[in-house]
Each structure stands twice: as structure tokens, then as C-alpha cells.
Amino acid sequence: MTENAALEATMRRALELAANGPATGPNPRVGCVLLDESGQVLAEGWHRGAGTPHAEVDALARLTAGAARGATAVVTLEPCNHTGRTGPCSLALIEAGVTRVVYAVADPGIDSSGGADRLRRAGIDVAGGVLAGAGEAFLADWLVAARLGRPFVTLKWASSLDGRAAADDGTSRWITGPEARQDVHRRRAAAGAIIVGTGTVLADDPALTARDAAGKLLPTQPVPVVIGTRGVPADAALRSHPHPPLFFATDDLLAVLHDLHRRGIRHAFIEGGPTLASAFVAAGLVDEYLVYLAPTLLGGGRLALGDIGVAGISDQRRLAIDHYDRLGDDLLVVARPR
């Protein structure tokens, strides 16, 4: 195996380790593998959430003093240069005597970036961009949040093949089958917030929780967020959510997203309805589309999206298909703006 192939294999392992970390919260999921001079694994680590040791420090902590001297650190994200509740990882690697650092993705954070430069000034060999595509895909939500100062926004809807989100009388339970609905709940649990409009709250009275197939609450729950000026009843189901709901009586969607970012939310999941969904699309604030298509026809005027600012074909909003999955009888299409 060539050295590049070996490093890529180690980076894949680091990404596997990173996936052990919590999907929600303000911090990125990061994995680290420490190699000795012959390329053998010395230690592995990953970040377990805000306030806990970062991946590099977690890996170093598994070694005795001096055991990392001369080692190579393979890490999914550029080591940070920031002192918060924990110290900078770049300094920890320098003090441990690591002589080489390889990472997948550069840290775009205003406060946390600069670790690679600090390592180089200390005489450490640094190389970035190893499996950068895989790293970018894995960290997509956190990277958008770090670069734009707002959460990564996923817009989800379920519809018939003719694009209807409900029957003509407004009923929509259930267009898709159980496999698709369970996939939605899994994705809800991986988001920091779930956003709906007051129209959806008043029409459907959703609980906005993430549940398993038996209806039991999953261990992690998104914060319920309601946007709109209409009042929400005191006995609305979402008021019994494990997290206190947030209410925003505004049409300034970017201001809402900035507020959520300040609260540590890095991924927001929009569940509707069509008016709110269309507003986010028109504002250019959607980073990912999840479209669950059921093999049925409903007709009528209950469209999944309304006006998104497309007056003519030249205004169309082209998307790139990321991937698609078969879920029971339904099809999930995952797309992103070009």
C-alpha cells in the first residue's frame, strides 16, 4: 500500500471515529488517529460534545507521557487554535511532540482557525485536504454554520407523485409509509431544531418530537421552533415537548436563523407548512432538500410548495441530486442547491 493510500485509509477510520460523537450541538464531530513512525496505530480518539476533550486530546490522553513523540496525527478537521472550555488542540499536539499532522478539512471558524499555521511555526509537517470531499460531506452542516453564522437548513416534505402534500380537504396522514416516516424521525433526532409555521401548528397540532417505531421518544430531541404571528393554543401538543418551544413572531427568517445559531443550534429541520417552506426557498436559505415521494395521486391544490419567486423558466431554481433511497414503497430524493 502506498503512503497516500495508507493515509486515506487512516482518514476513513478517523471519520468512523468522528461519527461516534453527538450529531447536535455547537461543536463539530471530529475523529483522530495517532500513528507511530512505522505507521502503526498508537491511539484513537473522538470528540464527545461541548466541554469534553477534543479528538486530538482524547487520543493523546490514551498514551503515557512521551509516547506520542515523533507520531503522526490524522484528524478529520484542522486542529483548532482556540481556547474555550478546553485548550487549543494545536498546542496539545506541539507539546506532545507530534511531528506530522494530516487533516481533511480546514477549520473556517473565526475564533478556532489558524491551527495549521501554528503547527507549522512549531516545525511540524502539516498537510491538509486528505479525503477532503468525504470530510466536507461529513461536516456539511457544521461547516455551513461556521461559514455563514446560521444553522444548516434542511427542508423536508412528503408528497404524492403529482406534488400534493395533502388531499383537497387538508388531510395528509399518511401519504408515505412507515419506513419513510421512521426515516424522518431519525433525521429529526439528528437536528438541533425543528421549524414549523403557525399555520401547521393550528391545522395539525404536531408534537414535533422524534420517536421510534413504537412511538417512544428517541434519546435526542430537536428544539421546537414556531414562526408566525398567530397565537398558539395553551394546550397545543408542542407545549409538552421535552424542550421548551421557541416562538418568533416575525417574517425575518435570517434573523431567526441567527438567533438559533447564537443558541448553539447548527442544524435546523423545516417541516412546513407550504407557506413557510416556500418563504425559506424564496429567500435562498435552504441547504438541503428531503423529498419523500409516495406512489399515489391526490390532485387538488394542496401543493408541497407555493410561490418561491419563479416567474418564468429562466428563474427556476436548479438543484443537484445528492442521492436517492428506496424506503418501502416510497422514494426519498436528497437534493441541494447548485
Tell me how far apart the alpha carbons of residues 13 and 22 are, in angstroms, rounded to a whole number. 17
Residue 192 annotated as binding? no
CA 72 to chain centre: 29
Residue 220 annotated as binding? no
Residue 9 annotated as binding? no
DSSP codes, 154-191: EEEEEEETTSBSS-TTS--TTSS-HHHHHHHHHHHHTS
Residue 208 annotated as binding? yes
Residue 158 annotated as binding? yes
Residue 84 annotated as binding? no
Residue 215 annotated as binding? no
Nearest to 175 by CA among 159, 156, 157: 159
Question: Do the beta carbons of residue 210 and residue 191 sit within 8 Å?
Answer: no
Residue 180 annotated as binding? no
Residue 271 annotated as binding? yes
Nearest to 109 by CA among 148, 166, 153: 148
Other CB atoms within a 10 A radius of the CB of residue 284 amount to 12
What are the strands, taking DSSP E only, across the chain? 31-35, 41-46, 72-77, 100-105, 125-127, 152-160, 193-197, 223-227, 246-248, 267-272, 288-294, 319-327, 330-337
CA 249 to chain centre: 26
Residue 190 annotated as binding? no
Residue 83 annotated as binding? no
Tell me how far apart the alpha carbons of residues 89 and 322 are, in angstroms, rounded to a whole number. 33
Residue 200 annotated as binding? yes
Residue 279 annotated as binding? yes
Does the annotation mark 56 as catalytic?
Answer: yes
Residue 132 annotated as binding? no
Residue 204 annotated as binding? yes
Out of 56, 78, 95, 136, pick the active-site residue: 56
User: Could you tell me the CA-to-CA distances from 280 to 32, 129, 165, 253, 309 in Å, in that order?
Assistant: 36, 32, 17, 7, 11
Residue 18 annotated as binding? no
First to last CA, the chain: 37
What are the start-end ranges of the H helices in 76-150?
89-96, 115-121, 132-138, 140-148
Residue 76 annotated as binding? no
Tell me how far apart the alpha carbons of residues 211 and 181 are, in angstroms, rounded to a whole number. 10
Positions at the binding site for NADP(+): 158, 174, 200, 204, 229, 273-279
Positions at the binding site for Zn(2+): 54, 80, 89
Positions at the binding site: 54, 80, 89, 158, 172, 174, 188, 200, 204, 208, 211, 229, 271, 273-279
Positions at the binding site for substrate: 172, 188, 208, 211, 271
Give the active site residues.
Answer: 56
